[in-house]
Amino acid sequence: MAVPAAFLAPILLLCGLGLRLAAAHGPTGVECVLFNEEYMTCVWGSRETLTTNYSLYYWYENRSPVVECKRYLWDRGVSIGCHFNQSEIVQFQPFHVLLNASLNGQALEIRSKRMELQDLVKPGAPVNLTIRNMSSNQLQLTWSSPYPKAQCLEHAVKYKSNKDTSWIEHGVKGDIFSFPSVDYEKYYTFYVRSKINSYCGSTQLWSEWSVPVVWGRNTTSKGLAEEQLQWFWIHTVLVPIASCLLLLVLVVLLVRMERVWVILMPRIPNPSKNFDELFITHNGNFQEWAGVPKDMLESFKPNYSESICYVSELPSREIHDPQWDGSNRLPGGPGAPAPPRA
Amino acid sequence: MSHAFFRSIFRVLPLLLVLSPVNSSSCTMGNKTAEIRVKYENILSHDIDELVNMSAEYRDRCCKNKKHEHSKVFFCNDTQEIESLQSMACNMLKFFNKQKISKEFRWKAALVSCGTLQVLQCKCERHKKEKVCTQVNTHNNEDRETGEQSKKKCNHEFCELKENISSLRSCWNKFEKIISR
């Protein structure tokens, strides 16, 4: 049993070592980027992925001997990259990098593939974004670039309004972008980024997005934000309060001015109470209750007296008395002729 | 008498060699950078892009092992970009008749070479190479192989042509960058 164990131990040791080396995540390659053609960094890992310090050597084909990196980039005590000055960068010459390290007595060497530095240029983000109003609802966006060769750049413009849910992106060759029809009720946000065009290189490295520029209503600049706040207070606080106060004043005035109140809110007459006065106060005297003037009352009273003339039918007699030929009448009746006097 | 004749001849020939300009470029568009730029951007760059894309589609595994073996390396020398482009374009024309390379690829490469020579108004040292350009320009889309036949086995000549194309494109990029503002 001891013999198999003796064979197993080295095997297990080798497996452990292999796993450890695998887990160490040595550099998988070197990534170089030229930032705006001002400086370059070549990075081969991070503190988490590297277990030892690597040395970087570089050379250009057809020129220069092999040179070691002069400025290493460090991450918590581990070298992770190299910084190149502008004077150390040569474009359009094949560039080679070699990483060297020793781990547990073993020399580690990693050669990068041949690089063309003009294809690794990352321009600086565009600056000075400016929007101008053109005629017929058109906007014109212009910018400038920190990259020295503007004609070697192509750009991309990204924009969105406050009513849109997603960004819209357009490719632009020059440094002017025309937005054809703008809605004045919306506000727009614009970003721009740049890349070396295919005439001057072959790269997929876009610059970072620029600082945004906005246009339209509800812009977020400081002065306009304050003005917005003022309008907010006016619209949502002052106006309702003033309206309520005005309404209150009107109501109070209305209540106080009875003439106006009576017109707006006329009393509904209650006849029952009025008739109480007729019967209780005036003892049923309608004229007095109605307020008929006294002289009018007097005028209705007759100012003469008349005696009543009674008319009766006499009993029937001999109507032969010629003196009494129907023309005799009793004295006193009106219109009755007086009896003849003999 | 004959001695005098031969002496005079021998004097003239060295004189001719001395007086002839060294490394004289046979390109006549050298100073017209604006015109070159317009032609390059509007026409030639698109053909170069197509050629590079075509080149990337072919199998090139054998090229990584056989790099720089028996192949001429061209550099885009500083201040001599036009001459470098001329050398690269003229060299690329030699691949036109290489049967191991896909015919479509050879034609496109020749088209780019001839386009470069035309834009820069250059001539090649071996004048018979211009016959290739005549053939390419007149028989542009005729007798091309189909896509199936273009998948040829990776070989040294293909690798060399691919290298040449890459150098040509980089040199054009460099030249464009120099003449751009």
pLDDT tens-place string over residues A149-188: 999 999 999 999 998 999 999 999 988 999 988 888 899 9
| Residue B19 to chain A, least CA–CA distance (Å) | 31
Q: Is the model's pLDDT at B165 over the cut of 90?
A: yes
Please name the residue of chain B whose CA is at the shortest distance from the CA of residue A148: B181
For residue B7, what pLDDT is reported? 60
**3-class SS at B160?**
helix
Which of A116, A198, A200 lies closest to B177 in CB terms? Answer: A200
Q: Are strands A31-35 and A121-122 parallel, antiparallel or unpaired?
A: parallel
One-letter amino acid identity for A43?
Answer: V
ipTM: 0.78
Does B144 score more than 60 pLDDT? no
Secondary structure class of A305 (helix, strand, coil):
coil
CA B66 to each of CA A35, A137, B62, B100, B155: distance values in angstroms, whole numbers, following the listed order: 33, 61, 7, 16, 9
What does pLDDT average to over chain A?
82
Give the number of other Cβ atoms within 10 Å of residue A193's Cβ.
17
Q: Is the pLDDT of residue B155 over 70?
A: yes
Residue B171: both structure tokens together: 């040199």
Chain-chain contact of B176 with A152 (C-beta, under 8 angstroms): yes
Higher pLDDT, A142 or B181: A142
Most confident among A39-43, A97-101, A279-283 (mean pLDDT): A39-43
pLDDT beyond 50 at A336: no
Please tell me the least confidently modeled range out of A120-124, A256-260, B37-41.
Answer: A256-260
Interface of A with B (CB under 8 A): 61-62, 91-93, 116, 118, 149-152, 198-202
Q: How much is the pLDDT for A332?
A: 44
Residue A339: CB atoms within 10 A of its CB come to 13
Q: Do A150 and B181 touch (CB under 8 A)?
A: yes
Question: What element of type H or E holds A271?
Answer: helix A271-276
Query: Looking at the predicted structure, is the pLDDT value of residue B130 above 90?
Result: no
Is the pTM higher than 0.90? Answer: no
pLDDT at site A213: 95
User: Which position has the higher pLDDT, A333 or B90?
Assistant: B90
Write the pLDDT tens digit of every residue in B12-25: 555 544 444 444 56
pLDDT over 70 (residue A5): no
Q: Give, in degrees to the nearest 5, the angle at Cα B121 between B115 and B126.
A: 85
Q: Cβ contact (<8 Å) for B180 and A200? A: yes
User: Contact A97/A57 with Cβ under 8 angstroms?
Assistant: yes
Work out the average pLDDT over A31-47. Answer: 93
pLDDT band at A331 (very low <50, low <70, confident <90, very high): very low
Torsion of CA B35, B40, B42, B44, to 10 degrees: 140
Q: Which residues contact A277 (CB under 8 A, 6 or more apart)?
A: A289
A272/B160: higher pLDDT: B160
Categorize the per-residue pLDDT at A319 as very low, low, confident or very high, splitting at 50, 70 and 90: low
| pLDDT score, position A26 | 67
Mean pLDDT of A77-102: 92
Q: Is B39 on the interface with A (CB under 8 A)?
A: no
B177 and A62 within 8 Å at the Cβ level: the answer is no
Does residue B177 sit at the A interface (CB-CB below 8 Å)?
yes
